Chains A and B, each alone.
Chain A
Amino acid sequence: KNQVEQSPQSLIILEGKNCTLQCNYTVSPFSNLRWYKQDTGRGPVSLTIMTFSENTKSNGRYTATLDADTKQSSLHITASQLSDSASYICVVSAQLGTYKYIFGTGTRLKVLA
């Protein structure tokens, strides 16, 4: 069964600290993996998109890694800011004739001053 699991479910950190969010998937055949940031009441915003051949991709203070062998991805946030408080969602795309998108349930991050 195609599944995407994220951990932790929620996380609280102090401003300025780093954190790492995890995404494990069993989606096949794999096409790409996306990380989104979603503020409460807003639509998701794309952070990174990685294909099978990409190991690391950065977007400012956000760095995503992908290990296609172990089917794991992580999103590392450096020097967190209050504005990083949001839900972070991992989405894996499978190419089954046409594309399908399987969403994780997200990690809710809260950054405290």
Chain B
Amino acid sequence: DSGVTQTPKHLITATGQRVTLRCSPRSGDLSVYWYQQSLDQGLQFLIHYYNGEERAKGNILERFSAQQFPDLHSELNLSSLELGDSALYFCASSPPGRANQPQHFGDGTRLSIL
């Protein structure tokens, strides 16, 4: 158990809809990262938050947004969903300190768009 909790584990919805994925980081970790893993593109980095502030952006679509709250949990919002958004969405957290800290991943939210 990595200590990172993601909810829900599975989500099935239709095209055009909006969903929110939630992540609770490990106790003491200030950084939260979001990743997308699809069959055709592998793992991709989406966005990184540190103590409530956005730190880095990767290949995150404009239809997607994220935030980290004062209690350090994070939410990834996906809107105007398309079939291609079907994927596993992972959250990871890491402790404060040097940039080379290990990231601890949750077990993901599997999003299926019908």
- A residues whose Cβ falls under 8 Å from a Cβ of B: 31-32, 34, 41-46, 49, 51, 89, 91, 93, 95, 98-106
Contacts and interface: CB of A to CB of B under 8 A. Distances in A.
B58 A100 contact: yes
B22 to A, nearest CB: 15
Interface of B: 2, 4, 33, 42-45, 48, 55-58, 90, 92, 99-108
25 contacts: A32-B99, A32-B100, A34-B103, A42-B108, A43-B105, A43-B106, A45-B105, A46-B102, A49-B102, A89-B42, A91-B43, A95-B99, A98-B55, A98-B56, A98-B57, A99-B48, A99-B55, A99-B99, A101-B58, A102-B45, A103-B44, A103-B45, A104-B42, A105-B42, A106-B42
Nearest to A47: B102
Contacts of A106: 42
